[in-house]
C-alpha cells in the first residue's frame, strides 16, 4: 500500500493499516517535517479516536485543554455540561506535534516513511498501481491513497472534479502577545467588528491573544506571513497594532470551499484535504481528515487481507462524502455569520439567542465536534450508525479494548458468539455494561454496526461487515 503525503491524514491512515499488518509505504515530498507552527484544535471525536489507539495521554501532555464550546462562528456560548462523551473538551495543540505523534505511532507499528519523495504520476490496471516519483523511480502497489493536501497531485491526475467556490478573500491568523491594555483592546475590537469582517483579537491563554485580520495587500501568498504583516494590517484596519509581539504562530488562509466528486477511482483513493477544503472557522479540517483515515484504514486493510465483503470499500465514500458535505455547509454558514452585512449580523444575533436553547447549542456542538455523525446503515434504532461513547466495563475502558483496531461484540446477554469471525472480531460478555440495548456490534472505528440479541441476525451482520466466516 502506498500513501502519498505524510500530513495528519496520511500518518493516521498508515498507522491504521499497520494495525492489520498491511505493508505501508508513505511517500512525503518534503525532506523535513513541517517547521511552521499552527495551533489547531482537536475536537471531541478526534480525541476519542486518539483514546481508542492509546495516544490520548501523549496528546494531553503536549496540548492545552480548553472548553468544548464557543467554536460555531466564534459565538461565545458554553457547551452543555452533559455532552455524550468521556472526553468533552477541546485540545489546542501545534499541528506539527500531532503529525509527529501520529508518525511516531505509525513507524512504531511498522510503517515506512520516505521523505523527499514527491509522487508525480501513476498508472493503474486491474492488479495494482504503478507510482512514479519525481526522480523517475517507479514503485508498484495494490492501492494508492492520496493524502497529499488541498492541491493534491493524485486528485488532479485522477481527473476527479473538485467543484465549489474559489477563494475570494485571504485572512491572517495567529497567536501573539499584545502590549495594549485589555480594556483598550476590547473597546477597539467592538468598534471595528461593526464594520470589518474577519477581524478579532481574543484572549487565548495567559497574556496571549488570537488575532484575525484581513490579509488584503499582504502580497506573496507563497510565503508564510510575518509579524510585520500583522502589524501593518492591524494598523490599516484598527489604526493601531496593539503593540503585538512575541508571536506563537502565524498563518494565512483563503476561503476556498471545495469537495471532490469522488473519493475512489478503482485502486486510487483520496482522503483529508485532498478530498475537501474549506476555511478553518470552527477548526474542523484536520479533524475531518484524521476521521476519514480512521474510516478508511480498516476497510482498505480488509480488502488487502482478502476478507472484505464486496461493497465494503465503497462504504468509505458513501459514509464520508456526506460528512464532508455537511462540514463544508456548516463552514459556509459560519463564514456568512461573520459578515458585517446588517442582515447577516441580524441572523447572527438571532442564532446567538437560539443557542440559549440547549438543543440548538447541542446540535451545533455535536456537528463541529463530529460526535453527532450518524452513518446510514439502514433502518434501525437511533444508535445504529453512530459512534458509541467510551464506557466502563468490567474488563476496562471500552476504548482501551478497541486498541487493536478489531471489531467488537459487546454482549450483555452473555450468550452470543462471534465464532467464525474471532480472527477479526473480539467478544466481550458483560451483563453489567452501561448500555440500554442487549448487545452492540462495533466496527473497528467504534461505530455501531448492529444492535440486537439474536444470533442469526448477528451472524448476518458479521458477514455484512466482516466477510465470510473462517472455516
Ligand atoms: C490558519 C489555519 C488554521 C487551522 N486550524 C485548524 C483547526 O483548528 N482544526 C482543524 O481540524 N484544522 C485546522 N486547519 C486545517 C488543517 O491544517 C488541515 O485540514 C490539515 O493540515 C489537513 O491534513 P492533510 O494531512 O489532509 O493534508 P496536509 O496537512 O496538507 O498534508 C499533506 C502532505 O502531503 C504532502 N504532499 C503534497 N503533495 C505531495 C506529493 N505529490 N507527493 C508526496 N507528498 C505530497 C505535503 O508535503 C504534506 O506533508 C487549519 C488550517 C489553517 C490554514
**Confidence (pLDDT) at 35:** 63
* % of residues, the chain, pLDDT over 70: 99
**Confidence (pLDDT) at 327:** 98
**Residue 317 contacts residue 358 (beta carbons within 8 Å):** no
Ligand 1, pocket-test mutation among 3, 4, 5, 268, most atoms within 8 A of CB:
5
Give 391 Cα–ligand 1 centroid separation in angstroms: 32
The number of beta carbons lying within 10 Å of the beta carbon of residue 111 is: 25
Per-residue pLDDT band for 221 (boundaries 50, 70, 90) equals confident
Give 102 Cα–ligand 1 centroid separation in angstroms: 14
> Model-level pTM?
0.94
Q: Which atom of ligand 1 is nearest to the CA of 117?
A: 43
Q: Which atom of ligand 1 is nearest to the CA of 92?
A: 8
pLDDT: is 197 or 300 the higher one? 300
**For ligand 1, atom 37: residue with the closest CA:** 148
Q: Mean of the pLDDT values across residues 88-101?
A: 95
Give 100 Cα–ligand 1 centroid separation in angstroms: 13
Which of 385, 407, 384 has the alpha carbon at shortest distance from 315?
Answer: 385
Terminus-to-terminus CA distance in the chain, angstroms?
Answer: 28
**Confidence (pLDDT) at 205:** 76
Query: Is the pLDDT confidence value at 190 over 90?
Result: no
The number of beta carbons lying within 10 Å of the beta carbon of residue 139 is: 17
Query: Is the pLDDT confidence value at 134 over 70?
Result: yes
Q: Ligand 1 site: residues with CB under 6 angstroms?
A: 4-10, 27-30, 38, 40-41, 95, 118-119, 147-149, 153, 173, 251, 253, 272-273, 280, 283-287, 289
pLDDT: is 426 or 74 the higher one? 426
**Confidence (pLDDT) at 347:** 96
Q: How many CA atoms lie within 13 A of 3 on its CB side?
A: 35
Give 160 Cα–ligand 1 centroid separation in angstroms: 19
Relative to beta strand 164-165, strand 170-177 is: unpaired
Query: Is the pLDDT confidence value at 409 over 90?
Result: yes
**Confidence (pLDDT) at 219:** 66
Ligand 1, pocket-test mutation among 148, 157, 212, most atoms within 8 A of CB:
148
Q: Which atom of ligand 1 is nearest to the CA of 292?
A: 26
**For ligand 1, atom 52: residue with the closest CA:** 280
Amino acid at each position: 500500500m502506498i500513501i502519498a503525503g505524510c500530513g495528519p491524514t496520511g500518518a493516521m491512515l498508515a498507522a491504521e493499516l499497520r494495525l492489520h499488518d498491511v505493508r505501508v509505504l508513505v511517500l512525503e515530498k518534503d525532506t523535513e517535517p513541517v517547521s511552521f507552527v499552527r495551533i489547531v484544535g482537536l475536537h471531541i471525536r478526534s480525541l476519542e479516536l486518539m483514546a481508542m489507539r492509546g495516544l490520548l495521554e501523549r496528546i494531553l501532555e503536549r496540548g492545552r485543554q480548553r472548553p468544548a464550546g464557543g467554536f460555531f462562528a466564534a459565538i461565545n456560548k458554553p457547551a452543555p455540561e452533559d455532552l455524550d462523551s468521556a472526553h468533552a473538551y477541546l485540545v489546542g495543540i501545534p499541528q506539527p506535534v500531532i503529525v509527529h505523534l501520529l508518525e511516531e505511532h505509525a513507524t512504531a507499528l511498522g510503517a515506512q516513511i520516505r521523505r523527499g519523495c514527491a509522487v508525480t504520476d501513476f498508472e493503474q490496471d486491474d492488479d495494482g498501481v504503478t507510482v512514479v516519483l519525481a526522480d523517475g523511480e517507479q514503485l508498484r502497489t495494490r492501492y494508492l491513497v492520496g493524502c497529499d493536501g488541498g492541491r493534491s497531485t493524485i486528485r488532479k491526475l485522477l481527473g476527479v472534479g473538485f467543484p465549489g467556490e474559489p477563494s475570494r478573500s485571504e485572512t491572517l491568523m495567529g497567536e501573539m502577545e499584545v502590549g495594549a491594555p485589555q480594556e483598550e483592546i476590547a473597546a477597539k475590537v467592538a468598534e471595528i467588528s461593526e464594520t470589518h469582517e474577519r477581524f478579532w483579537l481574543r484572549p487565548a491563554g495567559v497574556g496571549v491573544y488570537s488575532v484575525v485580520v484581513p490579509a488584503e495587500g499582504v502580497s506573496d501568498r507563497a510565503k508564510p506571513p510575518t509579524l510585520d504583516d500583522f502589524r501593518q494590517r492591524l494598523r490599516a484596519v484598527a489604526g493601531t497594532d496593539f503593540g503585538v509581539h512575541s508571536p506563537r504562530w502565524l498563518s494565512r488562509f483563503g476561503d476556498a470551499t471545495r469537495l471532490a466528486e469522488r473519493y475512489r477511482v478503482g485502486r486510487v483513493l483520496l482522503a483529508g484535504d485532498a478530498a475537501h477544503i474549506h476555511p478553518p472557522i470552527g477548526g474542523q479540517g484536520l479533524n475531518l481528515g484524521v476521521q476519514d483515515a480512521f474510516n478508511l484504514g480498516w476497510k482498505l486493510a480488509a480488502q488487502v487481507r482478502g476478507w472484505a465483503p464486496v461493497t465494503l470499500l465503497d462504504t468509505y465514500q458513501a459514509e464520508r462524502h456526506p460528512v464532508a458535505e455537511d462540514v463544508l455547509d456548516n463552514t459556509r454558514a459560519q463564514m456568512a455569520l461573520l459578515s458585517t452585512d446588517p442582515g447577516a449580523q441580524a441572523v447572527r444575533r438571532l442564532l446567538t439567542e437560539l443557542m440559549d436553547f440547549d438543543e440548538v447549542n447541542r446540535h451545533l456542538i455535536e456537528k463541529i465536534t463530529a460526535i453527532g455523525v450518524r452513518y446510514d446503515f439502514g433502518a434501525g434504532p437511533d444508535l445504529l450508525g453512530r459512534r458509541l461513547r467510551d464506557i466502563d466495563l468490567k474488563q476496562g475502558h471500552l476504548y482501551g479494548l478497541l486498541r487493536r483496531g478489531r471489531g467488537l461484540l459487546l454482549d450483555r446477554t452473555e450468550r452470543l458468539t462471534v465464532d467464525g469471525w474471532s480472527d477479526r472480531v473480539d467478544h466481550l460478555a458483560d451483563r453489567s455494561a452501561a448500555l440500554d440495548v442487549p448487545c452492540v456490534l462495533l466496527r473497528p472505528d467504534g461505530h455501531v454496526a448492529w444492535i440486537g440479541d439474536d444470533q442469526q441476525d448477528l451472524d448476518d451482520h458479521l458477514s455484512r461487515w466482516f466477510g465470510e466466516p473462517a472455516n
